[in-house]
Amino acid sequence: MTSTPRRTFLKQVGVTAALPLVPAIFTGCTYPAARMRYNVLSAQGQAMTRKFARAVEIMKSAPAGDPRSWIFWWYTHAIPVSKAAAIEQVFGGVSSPAEDLAQKAWYTCQPHQSGENTDNFLPWHRMFILFFEKLIGAILRDDSFTLPYWNYSPGLPSSQSGIMPESFRSPGDPLLASLYCADRNSGVNSGSPIDAQNPGLLSTASAMAETTYSPQGPDQGFCNNLDFGLHGSVHLLVGTTTNMGYIPTSAQDPVFWMHHCNIDRLWASWNRAGNPNPTDPDFLSQVFWFAGPDCRAVSIKVGDVMSIAQLNYTYQEFEPAPFPLRGSTPKPRNHGPWASVFTTTVASAGAVSLGSGTTRIQIKPTPDIQRRLFDLSAAAPSVPDFSAYYLVIRDLRINAQPEVIYALYLDVSEGASDEALQALKVGDLNFFQVMPGMEMDELARFVSYDITELVKAFGLSASVCGVSLTIIPSGEPAAGSEPVIGSITIQKV
């Protein structure tokens, strides 16, 4: 990376000390109408992408210690070395306002370190992309700039769904070359759909069907569903451990911002469908720090970003609420504390190491389960069971990012056909949110799958032997990754 002296850089981008302070953007209505974020494929989105490319080029030319540099914002998300080592490397032990800001803001991405509140995922990233968007407007001296979003999910024409926008894979175009990342996954930069080997993985249906933001009993809720599911899967489908496929390096790929703009759009869409956000005062009062477009430190509370209306922006399109499946039971809109939901663990399995091939696990009934696990089929001899059942996975651990996605199937026989596998598919599991060497075992940090309809549809009824779970990786896990599932349970609500 070439370095540009700070005075030259500021002159180059045309920024003066007269820029408005960022808090006014949140508390006042700086613009007469809500600012529109466009689909990256639209004409307006492509125009914004060209502006974005110019800003990225300028940011990448700035020294790492400048709060407007690409590295400064990459490191605000996460860092591939320790925070202390990065600050020493960039600032050389010399105290300055920028160094103080780095101490406050760098590596504050939520919730990808042990002990962090998983509910922070959506508001922290909303803050992150909003301040970044304002920064680009300052760099370009263009108050009209908004970040485009990349909608990769089904619903688009088949020629576009899951395909990396051409603007981000055009190294020969001098206007767009700054958006190119050479070492993305095979096929991504040539225009192959990122989900070509994982059909259905980009669907928003599971997350959009949630009716609570936070975990409630064995239901992981909207925030965790989106974070641990679609969000992580897109990271892994796009990149490797040198870019999008690994938390500490993901923000160096310019497409990161279009991905997270889309995640924010899905949150806004979920709210638009009538689903409320948390109101807990402790949650809403949490404070995070960022660089404002005037290079000064700015703090903001979670409660300040819970609605796009209060932030005065909107999206060109919103994701529709999913239609419930025929015969399915809608999830209750109970927004109380997740721990208040009465649940019973009816079956469990201990820690499981995942290798390079298929892993088959027997989930055995707990000692107090005398009858079959599920009494949901028409042939059940007892009174029909109208409960809901969830497969719950906890305590994921890795030595390194496996770089694959695992498909989960319930009670399939060995050698089952592809058709049989798809009929009994529970869902997919990725390890993107897991950091090497960390114990990710907080009570609210888990992945769950509602298996009630699957059980009903196929009349699954386990005896004292329990049911099997088959786990198949999408490819060869990275050497030395050693992924482990700490526990698997089936819980009844």
Angle, helix 255-272 to helix 121-140, in steps of 10 degrees? 120
The residue among 451, 470, 401 whose CA lies nearest residue 430 is 401
Distance, in Å, from the CA atom of 180 to the CA atom of 178, rounded to the nearest integer, reads: 6
Asked if the structure places residue 75 within a domain, the reply is: yes
* CB-based contacts of 454, cutoff 8 Å, min separation 6: 410, 424, 426, 460
Asked if residue 157 and residue 59 are part of one domain, the reply reads: yes
Q: Is the pLDDT of residue 150 over 80?
A: yes
- 442 confidence band (pLDDT: 50, 70, 90): confident
Asked if residue 158 and residue 13 are part of one domain, the reply reads: yes
Q: What is the rounded average pLDDT for all residues in the chain?
A: 88
Asked if the structure places residue 332 within a domain, the reply is: no
Listed residues 278, 296, 315: the one ending a domain: 315
Q: Which of 254-263, 330-339, 385-394 shows the lowest per-residue confidence on average (mean pLDDT)? A: 330-339
Asked if residue 465 and residue 402 are part of one domain, the reply reads: yes
Distance, in Å, from the CA atom of 227 to the CA atom of 264, rounded to the nearest integer, reads: 11
Asked if residue 304 and residue 372 are part of one domain, the reply reads: no
- DSSP-derived pairing of the beta strands 389-397 and 484-492: antiparallel
Q: What is the pLDDT of residue 454?
A: 85
Q: Is the pLDDT of residue 31 over 70?
A: no
Asked if the structure places residue 37 within a domain, the reply is: yes
Q: Tell me the percentage of the chain whose pLDDT exceeds 70.
A: 84
Listed residues 280, 315, 350: the one ending a domain: 315
Asked if residue 166 and residue 63 are part of one domain, the reply reads: yes
Q: Is the pLDDT of residue 379 over 60?
A: no
The residue among 193, 188, 197 whose CA lies nearest residue 161 is 193
Question: Is residue 433 a contact partner of residue 224, using CB atoms and an 8 Å limit?
Answer: no
pTM of the prediction?
A: 0.90
Asked if residue 284 and residue 368 are part of one domain, the reply reads: no
Q: Is the pLDDT of residue 294 over 50?
A: yes
Q: Is the pLDDT of residue 145 over 90?
A: yes
CA 174 vs. chain centroid, Å, equals 31
Asked if the structure places residue 334 within a domain, the reply is: no
Q: What is the pLDDT of residue 105?
A: 98
Asked if residue 347 and residue 440 are part of one domain, the reply reads: yes
Asked if the structure places residue 325 within a domain, the reply is: no
Taking residues 201-209, what's their average pLDDT? 95
Q: Give the three-class secondary structure for 428.
A: strand
- Angle ∠(127,130,132) on CA atoms, nearest 5: 105
CB count within 10 Å of CB 405 equals 22
Residue 111: is the preceding peptide bond cis (ω within 30°)?
yes
Q: Tell me the percentage of the chain whose pLDDT exceeds 90.
A: 72
CB count within 10 Å of CB 276 equals 13
* CATH at 387: 2.60.120
Asked if residue 487 and residue 426 are part of one domain, the reply reads: yes
Query: Per residue in 346-358, is it b (16+ CB within 10 Å) or e — as a string?
Result: bbbbeebebeeee
Asked if residue 296 and residue 371 are part of one domain, the reply reads: no
Q: Which of 96-105, 248-257, 323-332 shows the lowest per-residue confidence on average (mean pLDDT)? A: 323-332
* CATH at 117: 1.10.1280.10
Q: Is the pLDDT of residue 415 over 90?
A: no
Question: Is residue 410 a contact partner of residue 451, using CB atoms and an 8 Å limit?
Answer: yes
- 382 confidence band (pLDDT: 50, 70, 90): low
Asked if the structure places residue 331 within a domain, the reply is: no
Q: Is the pLDDT of residue 376 over 80?
A: no
What domain count does the chain have?
2
Taking residues 98-116, what's their average pLDDT? 95
- 457 confidence band (pLDDT: 50, 70, 90): confident
Asked if the structure places residue 290 within a domain, the reply is: yes
Asked if residue 44 and residue 191 are part of one domain, the reply reads: yes
Asked if residue 185 and residue 39 are part of one domain, the reply reads: yes
- DSSP-derived pairing of the beta strands 467-473 and 389-397: unpaired
Asked if residue 354 and residue 279 are part of one domain, the reply reads: no
Domain of residue 195 covers 6-315
Q: Is the pLDDT of residue 5 over 50?
A: no
Q: What is the pLDDT of residue 133?
A: 98
Q: What is the pLDDT of residues 318-375, one digit of tens each?
A: 999 886 644 455 565 544 444 567 888 988 999 999 999 999 999 988 877 655 566 5
Q: Quote the tokens at residue 220.
A: 């992981």
Asked if the structure places residue 240 within a domain, the reply is: yes
